[in-house]
Structure 1
Amino acid sequence: MTHGTDGNESTYGTFGNGGAGRVEPDPHYNLKMFGEVVKTFRKRARLTQDQFAPMVGYSLETCASIEQGRRLPPPDFPGLADTILDAFGVILAASKHLTRRKGLASWFRQWAQLELEALSLYTYECRLIPGLLQTPAYARTLFTDQLPPLGDEQIEAQLAARLERQELLRNRPNTAFTFILEEHLFLRQLGGKEVTRELIDHILELSELRNVNIQIMPLVRHHHAGLDGPMQLLETPDHQWFGYLEGQEHGQFVSDPKVISALQMRCATMRSQALSLDKSKSLMRQMRGAR
């Protein structure tokens, strides 16, 4: 689900107790305190949220979410806000304590942070629909079925974090998102037929965004470059590439150029093996039952 560097020079940085549903919500997170600091200095500067948002280069929704303590600020936000609001370094100082995000696993937080400013993000999935493409009903099914079971508060925290993360697709129009999804992910009908229909409609809608490409890997495929499992590749603004691989109980962050090269080769081959964008849409409509 996520990856991030931790200063580890090794090929893989392992994040234990991971998995698509394993999280460790932290009740003592201080995003709300940071949001209050930003809001206080914004009001001191006599700026509305509508005026402040374009000044820092982020959407009104993103700035509102930060002030409400619902999302971690992008990496450059604290510095920009501190300068624009003449905050005497207070906002920057407060941002140094933002090490927790409620509803996100510790091993996923750094990857989620890198996603906020990525130039491109490639995702191949063979187990479940990626979090960025899930509907609330589909995501809730995943969290409800999690073993060991999660409490209601944990489920709600995870769902809120996932829905917030999905803002990336619309708030980052200059980031290229590419998804390769196995056909069987839809045929499984996780959550039931209605949940699946809603999911397909949602993914078809997202596929109309200029920065989102979604391809389906057909069920019958005589040659397949992705048999080693799911993977994600990410390009930073400095044109560095990182990868993320996920297993049942851990996630692995990949930084070794040789391994990244191999993952890029597999991803490029899978894109040629998967259905075209138009044929992928046609197949999804067919699976949904549309004429």
Structure 2
Amino acid sequence: MTHGTDGSDSTYGTFGNGGTNRTEPEPHYNLKMFGEIVKTFRKRARLTQEQFAPLVGYSLETVSSIEQGRRLPPPDFAERADSLLDAFGVILAAAKHLKRGKGLASWFRQWALLELGALSLYTYECRLIPGLLQTPAYARRLFTDQLPPLGDEQIEAQLAARLERQELLRNRPNTAFTFILEEHLFLRQLGGEEVTRELIDHVLDLSELRNVDIQIMPLVRHHHAGLDGPMQLLETPDHQWLGYLEGQEHGQFISDPKVISALQMRCASMRSQALSLDDSKGLMRRMRGAR
């Protein structure tokens, strides 16, 4: 992606609220991403804005403004556009996401919008179980342990947003989700033994979905291509690859083909270094049985 925090072209877009040179993403970013999703499906349907506008029941000016991220879509626009463009519910989900932003970290909202239409999503994590795979109890522990402390309403809002986002795994059966998780994420027993046992059962259940691959990187590994930290790679509907790197209080979006190529190389290497799909399931079952 080529959007910086000020809307100018940049290889890296860094969002956050701590440290120098970090700023909150402006509200129009969510609108821009919604507009990009609508435009992508409109072009997929081989319609111009002039052709699409009367079909969806709005003026050319309104359609243009929505696609450019300059205005919120009218209440029924998303439903009409999704049906007309045969968008598999992606436009509806994106519109819903525009309304619920307070439950997601500000710097993550743009990536979460991109997830709604992704063809492929690769995730490597070494710090915590990824949000898409978390149980409510595990997620709640993360939120209650957060510093500075969150209020009860903030915790519930974040938990609701996380659980809603998890619907992607089942609602997007044509999206390929690949996860590489470090073994120590389970050994840490965050939240206690019962929370960990439930988490392992949940991850095992998700690993049975046809569109979800989960591999475990064993605790002892003499060669490891992911030592630079967690990362996510995403393939858009027009087959563009984007990257997302997350740290404390910020997230970094990457579109430079050279950097994306390096991340893809590391991801491919880690997939060969991690346990196979079956061996990963076997290890998780053994870890569960040991508790």
Q: CA offset at residue 214 of structure 1?
A: 0.1
Q: Secondary structure at the match of 1:216?
A: strand
Q: Separation in 1 of the partners of 2:226 and 2:251?
A: 17
The two structures, once aligned, show a CA RMSD in angstroms of 2.8
Partner of 1:116: 116
Q: What is the match of residue 270 of structure 1?
A: 270
CA distance in 2, matches of 1:97, 1:267: 29
SS at match of 1:15: strand
Q: Report SS of the residue matched to 2:101.
A: coil
Give the aligned partner of residue 140 of structure 1.
Answer: 140
Tell me what 1:215 maps to: 215
| Paired position in structure 2 for 1:203 | 203
Query: 2:88 corresponds to which residue?
Result: none
Match of 1:177 in 2: 177
> Post-superposition shift, 1:78?
4.7
Deviations 1:2-44 (A, max 9, x none): x9945442221000138xxxxx9xxxxxxxxxxxxxxxxxxxx
The aligned residue for residue 279 of structure 2 is 279
TM-score norm. by structure 1 comes to 0.72
Tell me what 1:237 maps to: 237
Cross-structure match for 2:81: 80
2:247 is aligned to 247
The 3-state SS of whatever aligns with 1:252 is strand
Please state whether the residue corresponding to 1:137 is helix, strand or coil: helix
Q: Distance in 2 between matches of 1:276 and 1:243?
A: 24
Match of 1:127 in 2: 127
Kept in 1: contact 2:16–2:251 (CA 8 A): yes
CA distance in 1, matches of 2:251, 2:121: 17
- What's the secondary structure of 2:102's corresponding residue? coil
Tell me, what secondary structure is at the counterpart of 1:162?
A: helix
Q: CA deviation at 1:269?
A: 0.2
Q: CA separation in 2, counterparts of 1:108 and 1:261?
A: 22
CA drift of 1:105 comes to 1.8
Q: Which runs of 4+ in 1 moved over 3 A?
A: 3-8, 76-79, 81-84, 95-100
- Cα 1:4/1:120, change in 2 over 3 Å: farther
Contact 1:103 1:157 in 2 (8 A): yes
The gaps in structure 1 that reach 5 residues or longer are 19-23, 25-71, 85-90
2:17 is matched with 17
Q: Is contact 1:120-1:175 (8 Å) kept?
A: yes
CA contact (8 A) 2:2 2:12 kept: no
CA separation in 2, counterparts of 1:151 and 1:108?
20
Query: Matched residues in 1 for 2:201 and 2:15: separation?
Result: 34
Question: For the residues of structure 1 that align with 2:255 and 2:277, how far apart are their CA atoms?
Answer: 30
Counterpart Cα distance in 2 of 1:97 and 1:201: 29
Aligned partner letter, 2:253: F
Residues 134 and 96 (structure 1 numbering): CA distance in 2 closer, same or farther, change over 3 Å? closer
TM-score, normalization: structure 2?
0.72
Q: Which amino acid counterpart does residue 208 of structure 1 have in structure 2? A: E
Describe the shift of the 1:172–1:182 C-alpha distance in structure 2 as closer, same or farther (beyond 3 A).
Answer: same
Deviation digits for residues 109-164 of structure 1, max 9, x if unmatched?
11111000100000000000000000000000000000000000000000000000
How many residue pairs align between the two structures?
A: 226
Contact 1:126–1:181, Cα closer than 8 Å, also in 2: yes
SS of the residue corresponding to residue 282 of structure 2 reads: helix
- The 3 A distance-change label for structure 1 pair 286 and 103 is same
- Local SS of the residue matching 2:173: coil
Report the secondary structure of 2:283's partner residue.
Answer: helix
Using CA pairs below 8 Å that are at least 6 residues apart, which structure has the higher relative contact order?
A: 1
Once the two structures are superposed, the pairs formed by residues 15-94 of structure 1 within 5 Å of their partners are 15-17=15-17, 77-80=78-81
Percentage of pairs with the same residue: 86
Counterparts of 2:8 and 2:281, CA distance in 1: 40
SS in 2 for 1:102: helix
SS of corresponding position for 2:174: coil
